[in-house]
Amino acid sequence: MAGYRKLGRTASQRKALLRNQVTNLLYNGKIVTTEAKAKEIRKIAESLIALAVKEKDNFETVTVTAKVPRKDKDGKRVKEVKDGKKVTVYDEEQKEIKKDLPSRLHARRKMNKILYTVTSVPTENAGKKKNTKTVDIADKLLNEIGPKYAESNHNGGYTRIVKIGQRKGDAAMEVLIELV
């Protein structure tokens, strides 16, 4: 007996399908899929969330000095002429950043091996490349989802599968898989 469902696909197609669905589950909070796919997605998603819960506090806060370009009232960079060239004016600013400890960095890299990057497009710019933002799902896992589950005494069971009914085309059992 195999340790996983083959889902009627080659290894590379199956891996891509599961990566995509796990990414969408963590980004949106819930997805609708077939029962067999949902059971495979659950395994991967729960292991990622467990890793995020374990590494939620594994960072140190560091104050760094950063050079930030000075901006005018329109939000454009201020330039001044030096030696006949236009040069951007920079100000030094103190910033606090989270620095991952080695185990958290390793966990982040393990997550990035599985998860895809998501490009979010604001609704008013649908169909345009302008103002799109890439969302780091591993960061969302470590900073939002991990601490949320760490507060409630969960020992696994981060996802819920709810049966919806049979799909019209091929009568496959459709389910809603969501984060609890």
| Domain range annotation of the chain | 11-58+101-179, 59-100
Instruction: Given CATH 1.10.10.10, say whether it is the number of domain 11-58+101-179.
Output: no
Write b or e for each residue in 85-104: b if 16 or more Cβ atoms lie within 10 A of its Cβ, otherwise e: eeeeeeeeeeeeeeebeeeb
Supply the pLDDT for residue 1: 59
For residue 152, what are the contacts with CB-CB under 8 A and spacing of at least 6? none
Supply the pLDDT for residue 99: 92
Per-residue pLDDT reduced to its tens digit, 111-157: 999 999 998 887 776 777 777 889 999 999 999 999 999 887 777 78
pLDDT < 70 regions, the chain = 1, 125
Query: Which pTM does this prediction carry?
Result: 0.83
Radius of gyration of the chain (CA): 22
Farthest-apart Cα atoms in the chain, separation: 75
Supply the pLDDT for residue 24: 96
Residue 45: which of 163, 136, 161 has the closest Cα? 161
